[in-house]
Structure 1
Amino acid sequence: MTEAVQVLSAGSMRHAFPAIIEAYTEATGIAVSLSLGPAGLLRERIEVGERFDLFASANMEHPRRLAATGVTEEAICFTRNRLCVITRADLGMTTENFLDVLSDSSVKIGTSTPGDDPSGDYAFEVFDRIETRHPGMGTTLKARARQLVGGRNSPPTPPGKGGGYLITDGEADLMMSYYSNARLLEPDPAFRVVDIPAEFSPKVEYGLGPRKGAPNEARRLQDFVLSKGGQEILRRAGFLPVSSLSPAARRDHRQVNR
C-alpha cells in the first residue's frame, strides 16, 4: 500500500487544503497527511530533518531557501493572497483614513510574528512602505505592533474562539490579516474588513516545493493544486488563482524559481 503523501502547509491554507486533499484523494485514491503551521516554523522543522513530501508556504522565500540548499525542487508560485485589516466596526477605519487611524497612538495594532510567520513579515513590509513615504511613521508603527499570533511562543487559539477573538477580547483594535481569513468575518456586524491602500500593500505569493526524491504521488498532488480544479478550490477559499496570471507571467514565475 502506498504511504500517505506528507504535506506541511502554511496555516492560512486551512480553509483550502483539506478540500484540495479530499478532491485529490477522491480522484486518485492516494491518501494525504496534512500538518498546518506558520511557514517559517515549518521551514525550520524541515531544516532539522522532519519528514515531508510537499511544502506549501505563504511566501516564496521559505521554499526558495530550501530549494537553494537542495532540500526541495524548484519553488513554484501556486496561489496569491492579499493583506488587509480586520477592525472593530466602531473604529471607523476605511482605506481612505488608513494612515490616520494607524497613527493614532491609542489604537492597538495586532500582527502575526515576523520571521516565524509570513503574515507578520507582510505586515512589517506594510510598515516599511509607510516609512518610505512618511519617515518615522513606519518605525513607530513597528514599535507599537503587538505580535499576537504565529510565533513559536504564541498561545494557541482558545477552543471555540472565532477568527476575531483578539479584537473582541480587547487585545487589539485591529489585526493585519490575510483576506482569505478576514473574509469569513465580513458578515459579522462587529467587524469591518478594510483594504490597505495600494501603495502600501505587499505582493502576497504562496510557494510550493516538493522534497527532492519525493514520490510521484507528491508531484501529482502538486500538479492537482495547479490544475483548474485545484485553482477553483483555492478561489472559493478566498485566494487568487495563479491561473489568473498571464501566460507570460506564469513563465516568468517558473524561470525565476529555477
Structure 2
Amino acid sequence: MTQPEILAVFADASFEDAFAKIAPLFKEKSGCSLQLTFGQSGALRTDIEGLMPCDVFCSADEASPAALQKAVKAHELFAFAGNRLVVATRSERRFQNQDWADILCDPSTTIGMSTPRVSPEGDWSALLFKNIAKALPGRLGSRIVGQHAVALIGGNHTDEQLDRETGAHFMLSHEGIDAAVVFESAAERMKAEGLLLHPIPDGVCPKIVCWGCFPRTGKAPGSLKKELEALLLSPEGQTLLQGCGFLPAPANA
C-alpha cells in the first residue's frame, strides 16, 4: 500500500494557531499530512539555506522568501495574508488613557520587541520606529523610540519557549519592560491574558504582507505544494486565517 504523502511546512511562529486549523482541513481535502515546523522566519530561512528539507515556507514578511528566491533556493512566491502591529501593555491605570504615541514616544518607556533580522516582527517594529520619526516630527521623543527598545525574543536573547504564552505577555513579564510591539494577529489571546492593546493608525503602522514560497529542498510533488497554496488563498482558507487574527491576502501584492 502506498504511504500517504507528507508535506514539510516551515512557518513563522505567528501562524501556529492558524495551521492548527489548516492542517486537518488540508488532510481532509488532499489526504496529505502537514509536517509543521514553527519558528522565527529569519531562523527558518537559515535552516532552508542549510538544506533542511522544506516543501512550503510561510513567512511573516516578503524578505525571507525573496532572499531564497534570489539565491535560487526557492521559487513561486505568493502573498497569502496580512497583519498589523499593535502596542501591548499591562492593564495598569497609567496606560488606560494613553494612546500608542503617548506610550512609545515617552523616553521613560522601555519597549520590548523581537530581534530584527531574525524575526520579521522585529524588522517591522524597527520600521515602525522610523515611521514614527517621520510622521510625528514635532513630537517630543519621536526620533528616539528605537533607543529605548530591547530585543527579547529571537536571536541570542532568549532560548525560552513561550509555551502558549503570547510574546507580548512574555516580554511584559520582564522587569522594566513597560510596553511591547507585537503582531496584532494574537490580539484575542493577548486580551485573554489581561493585556491592554493600543492600535497604531494607518500611515504609521507598516503595511505587513505575509508571503510563502516553495524551497528547492522540498521532496513532495509540486501538485501538493500548489494544493496548499490554493487552500491558503481560497475563501475557506482566508476565513480560517482571518479567524486567527490575520488580514486578507492583498489582491495587488
Q: 1:256 is matched with which residue?
A: none
TM-align CA RMSD: 2.2
- 1:19-38 paired onto structure 2 within 5 Å: 19-38=21-40
By how many angstroms is 1:21 displaced? 0.9
TM-score (norm 2): 0.88
- Structure 2 CA distance for aligned equivalents of residues 17 and 199 of structure 1: 30
Q: 1:208 is matched with which residue?
A: 212
Counterpart code for 2:242: R
Work out whether residues 87 and 100 of structure 2, in 8 Å CA contact, stay in contact via their aligned partners in 1: no
Q: 1:99 is matched with which residue?
A: 101
- Structure 2 CA distance for aligned equivalents of residues 34 and 108 of structure 1: 34
By how many angstroms is 1:151 displaced? 2.1
Classify the secondary structure of the residue corresponding to 2:11.
Answer: strand
| Structure 2 segments unaligned to the other structure (5+ residues) | none
Q: Are the structure 2 counterparts of residues 145 and 169 from structure 1 closer, same or farther at C-alpha, using a change threshold of 3 Å?
A: closer
- Structure 2 CA distance for aligned equivalents of residues 221 and 98 of structure 1: 37
TM-score (norm 1): 0.86
Classify the secondary structure of the residue corresponding to 1:198.
Answer: coil
- Structure 2 CA distance for aligned equivalents of residues 114 and 41 of structure 1: 11
- Structure 2 CA distance for aligned equivalents of residues 147 and 116 of structure 1: 11
- Structure 2 CA distance for aligned equivalents of residues 81 and 160 of structure 1: 20
In structure 2, which of residues 183, 200, 225 is the aligned counterpart of residue 196 of structure 1?
200
Tell me the percent identity: 28
- Structure 1 CA distance for aligned equivalents of residues 52 and 13 of structure 2: 17
Work out whether residues 14 and 185 of structure 2, in 8 Å CA contact, stay in contact via their aligned partners in 1: yes
Q: 2:146 is matched with which residue?
A: 142
**Could you report, residue by residue, the CA deviation over 1:132-188 in whole angstroms, capped at 9, with x for unpaired residues?**
242894552212101011224423136575551331443521111111113312244
| Structure 1 segments unaligned to the other structure (5+ residues) | 254-258
- 1:1-258 paired onto structure 2 within 5 Å: 1-90=3-92, 91-92=94-95, 97-133=99-135, 134=137, 137=141, 139-157=143-161, 159=163, 161=165, 163=167, 164-188=169-193, 190-212=194-216, 214-215=220-221, 216-242=223-249, 245=250, 250=251, 252-253=252-253
